[in-house]
Chain A
Amino acid sequence: MLTEATLRWIGGLGAAIVCVCLLAISGAVPLRYNFRNLTVRWRTTLLTVIAFTFVIGLLTVMLSFVNGMQRLTESSGRDTNVLVISASATDEAFSSLTPEAVSGIENLPGISREGEQPLCSRETYLVVNQPIEQPRSEGPKRRFLQLRGVDNAEIAARVHEVRLHPGGSWFSAAGVQQGDADDDETVVEAVIGEGAARELGRDASNWQRDSVKALGRLDVGDTISMGGRRWRIVGVMQSAGSTMDSEIWTYRPLVAFIFGKQSYTTVVARCASSAAAGKLAQFLEKEYKVAPIKAFVETAYYAGLSGTNQQFTVAIMVVAFVMAVGGVFGIMNTMFAAISQRIKDIGVMRIIGFSRTQILTSFMLESLLIAFVGAATGCLLGSLVHGLSATSVVGSGQGGGGKTVVLKLVVDSGILSKGMILGIVMGFVGGLLPAGGAMRLKPLDAVR
């Protein structure tokens, strides 16, 4: 995210700041004098601190969003799994694999087995339009749901290492069950990601459900409509932190039947180790001749979905930079005013024998102190968003596609240190010019 050049630049500034602080501690800078002045001018100090707080707080929130996306793509997938899609597809949604291509993969060496059964999940992933039953007036009237049909739920669960919340079960062999008593039509059984369950629970038509009231999401037994059919939730996946969180799983032949999507999109094969997975992926990519395919170690596939993260990061950096420059002008104003109020003080201190460096240090310290307090408050307030849920899209960042995901905002030490660094750099840059001016004052002119 940060290039090496900027890091080095920040390193240089950091060194300068450390110098200032060391001088402050060791050298004879009248700390109390600076502190007293800050409190005497408390209004100006407070306003400047507030400006810093907002800038750094915003940065923290924005970065926590991208960080949440990043965490999600990083924690999705297993490094022991190999994911296969068709060669021309940029995304699972555009992939199309014939049954021959799929069964050819299943029997390759390197894939783990459970008894006779290879641990290889055959799947059809598709994005489905769902009309929202009672749309809010300003919101959209439909939404996209991510549906994954799997041929064998047990195998899929083993391959993806996904568990259900207590009380849930995987769909039956038929994938359907009897609907409500007065209703002849069967309902489709679905297992749903926690995030998707929360998202669907937001609908006006679902507010009154007991599960939504108790858990904030749909739960086992609730029904939704999709593709002109009723679907009953038979299990909720413990899927937080992965892209599966936003998916709905069902029995694949039903997907083909209801949505007319006959082909497979994805095969995920489980290997004994990550090394084995790497070897298998390479073999499939180079040697597999049954059909043109692309194969990835699953973690690499999801890491490739961080393109949007980078694009957002760039946008955030631009916004943060411009705001920071604005903030720098703000603190410059404060410091120039602080100095012009105290020109006589500076003169006296110089006459008494304080050196230029000490004057410079003294004012830099004031500026840095404001910045530090502002940045720390900003980080603190920004941290309040930690753990909140948000929706976003992760994708390779080009040519459409991408997955809608529910993510958690994550504030971590990296973000906090970025916030503190930016704040302190702002204080440093903003203080430098005014403090430099104070340093150059001629003592005799100053006391006049």
Chain B
Amino acid sequence: MKYLTLILKNIRRNPLRTLLTAMGTMMLVCVVTLIWSVLSFLDRQTSEKSQNLKLIVTERWQLPSQMPLSYADILSKGAPREPNDLTIADRDSMTWQFFGGSTEEDPRNRSPDSILFAFALEPPKLATMMDELDELGGSVAAEFQRVVDKLAANRQGLVVGQSRLDLLKQKVGGRLTLFSLNYPGIKLDLEIVGTFPPGRYDLSAAIHRDYLSSAMDQYERETGRRHPMIDRTLNLVWLRVKDRQEMAQVAQQIESSPQFRNPQVKVETASSGIAAFLEAYRTLIWGMRWLLMPAIITVLAVIIANAISISVRERRTELAVLKVLGFRPNQLLCLVVMEALAIGVSAGLSSALATYLLINLGFGGVTFPIAFFSKFFIPWEAVVLGTIVGAGTALAGSVVPAWSARSVKVSEVFAKVA
């Protein structure tokens, strides 16, 4: 690259302008990275996979889905009735019961920070079935497995995300009592046995499902009445299947089963279920994808185009001199484009990288509440994307100025000077 020095010199000639252009690029690439991260996460959640599918079984017609706990065992196996029917292995299923509670007994004193929503489930499933937690590796996986084992051993255990723990002003090992919001009359005495790995579950919590069941039994013993939630306590059953064919078979087994009449149930892929939730946000997502992103990228291209065209105009004489020295028009064009690219790529890369580090490590994710997702993280692909956006906008922004550099007329420039 024999013109590299020339390009670098030009970039350094007006450090202020280079800096301003780079800063502007960085700001906008940062926004693009953030938005793209949110969109790509949602896209991934809603894109249909063909292998290793997760299915969710919920109440057919109503929201929130509330099924009797008696459904749990049969649903977990995929409701096989005939000898040839498919049976889901134990490790490939998970039941969810949502338990919401506050550390404050008096409803008037409850604040968002004192409220905790927990999944009540079979502890081992935390590591085998929960999205992302079932894909952990290395020391993080081993560490989390220890937490899961503690919960399995301690019925009154509580696993909670670090951010939620901070909100509750608690530490691992601490104890708390939750007065339920959705299970009237139930209170749980819990001991915090560990935290989720940092990330998606920072604000979540999980408890042992046996503890919730026994709490409802105790309610019945004490009051002589069945707990009103007892037939509506099962919210969701997760099943993992190998492929679409298995999915169709399991769906058929469950939906045709006479055991699930009142209420009826439905089977769908997790991604399809999430898509249904996101439908309400369709304007918002559309706007982010088709309005915000393109507009920001346009602004970026415009800012770069402006900077580059200013620098070309200021250097008309020099460019003419280069032509006199024997540079071909296309070489001048390349010089200008390369200059823009150098700025665009380095600003794009450093901005995306900074966003990646800052958001993921510094802020612990972007807070943007949409459906039941609250925090978003920057995937490493976003760094690549940021660089590409920087390069692409630099290219787009430099085309016109580079063309005008290419077509500098030597005679005109020198006529003015002479």
Contact = CB atoms under 8 A, between A and B. Distances in A.
Q: Determine whether A and B are in direct contact in the complex, meaning some CB atoms lie less than 8 angstroms apart.
A: yes
Interface string A49-71: 01100110110011001000000
B262 A47 contact: no
Given A140-B276, A323-B296, A260 B263 contact: yes
A341 B181 contact: no
B295 A140 contact: no
A195 to B, nearest CB: 12
Contacts of A330: 20, 24, 299, 302-303, 306
A261 B284 CA distance: 32
A283 interface: no
A47 B302 contact: yes
A329 B302 contact: no
Given A327-B299, A329-B23, A398-B112, A43 B275 contact: no
Interface in A85-104: 87-88, 90, 93-94, 96
Interface stretch (B58-66, B80-88, B250-258): B58-66
Contacts of A139: 275, 279
Interface residues of B, number: 65
Interface string B279-311: 111111001000110011011101101110110
Contacts of A323: 27-28, 31, 296, 299
B184 interface: yes
Nearest to B304: A330
A34 interface: no
Contacts of A326: 23-25, 27-28, 31, 299-300, 303
Contacts of B276: 129, 140-144
Contacts of B309: 43-44, 47
Nearest to B397: A47
Contacts of A55: 299
B282 A391 contact: yes
B314 interface: yes
Contacts of A392: 280-281, 283-284
Interface in A357-399: 390-393, 397-399
A332 interface: yes
A87 to B, nearest CB: 6
Contacts of B306: 44, 47-48, 51, 330, 333-334
Contacts of A62: 287, 292
Interface in B265-283: 266, 268, 272, 275-283
A373 B310 CA distance: 21
B117 interface: yes
Interface residues of A, number: 67
Given A128-B62, A140-B275, A341-B314, A391 B295 contact: no
Contacts of B296: 54, 58, 323
A25 interface: no
B30 to A, nearest CB: 6
Nearest to A314: B367
Given A141-B268, A319-B31, A404-B280, A90 B181 contact: yes
B100 interface: yes
A259 B61 contact: yes
Nearest to B26: A326
B63 A144 contact: yes
Contact of B291 (A61, A90, A261): A61
B16 interface: yes
B314 A337 contact: yes
A314 B369 CA distance: 11
B317 to A, nearest CB: 13
A139 B182 CA distance: 32
B107 interface: yes
B307 A54 contact: no
B158 interface: no
B320 interface: no
B247 interface: no
Interface in B371-410: 371-372
A65 B279 contact: no
A319 B180 CA distance: 37
A62 B314 CA distance: 38
Contacts of B299: 51, 54-55, 323, 326-327, 330
B323 interface: no
A217 B60 CA distance: 27
A343 B311 CA distance: 16
B244 to A, nearest CB: 14
Contact of A399 (B117, B282, B298, B302): B117
Contact of A140 (B180, B272, B310): B272
A128 B31 contact: no
Contacts of B279: 139-140, 143-144, 391
A126 B263 CA distance: 15
B21 interface: yes
A393 B275 contact: no
Interface string A317-358: 001001101111110111011001100000000000000000
A18 interface: no
A261 B59 CA distance: 12
Nearest to B271: A140
A432 to B, nearest CB: 14
Nearest to B275: A140
B18 to A, nearest CB: 10
Contact of A58 (B64, B115, B295, B369): B295
Contacts of B64: 93-94, 127
A308 interface: yes
Given A142-B276, A326-B24, A333 B310 contact: yes
Contacts of A334: 306, 310
Contact of B62 (A126, A292, A327, A333): A126
Given A319-B292, A337-B314, A54 B24 contact: no
Interface in B297-355: 298-300, 302-303, 305-307, 309-310, 314
B27 A325 contact: yes
Contacts of A328: 24
Nearest to A55: B299
Closest 4 A/B residue pairs (Cβ): A329-B24, A326-B27, A390-B283, A140-B275
15 contacts: A44-B306, A44-B310, A54-B296, A54-B299, A57-B295, A93-B63, A96-B228, A142-B272, A144-B277, A144-B280, A326-B23, A326-B24, A333-B17, A333-B21, A400-B117
Given A141-B275, A323-B299, A333-B21, 13 more contacts: A44-B310, A126-B62, A140-B272, A141-B276, A142-B276, A144-B276, A315-B368, A319-B31, A323-B28, A325-B27, A326-B25, A330-B302, A341-B314
Interface of B: 16-17, 20-21, 23-25, 27-28, 30-31, 34-35, 46, 60-64, 100, 107, 112, 115, 117, 180-182, 184, 228, 262-263, 266, 268, 272, 275-284, 287, 291-292, 295-296, 298-300, 302-303, 305-307, 309-310, 314, 367-369, 371-372
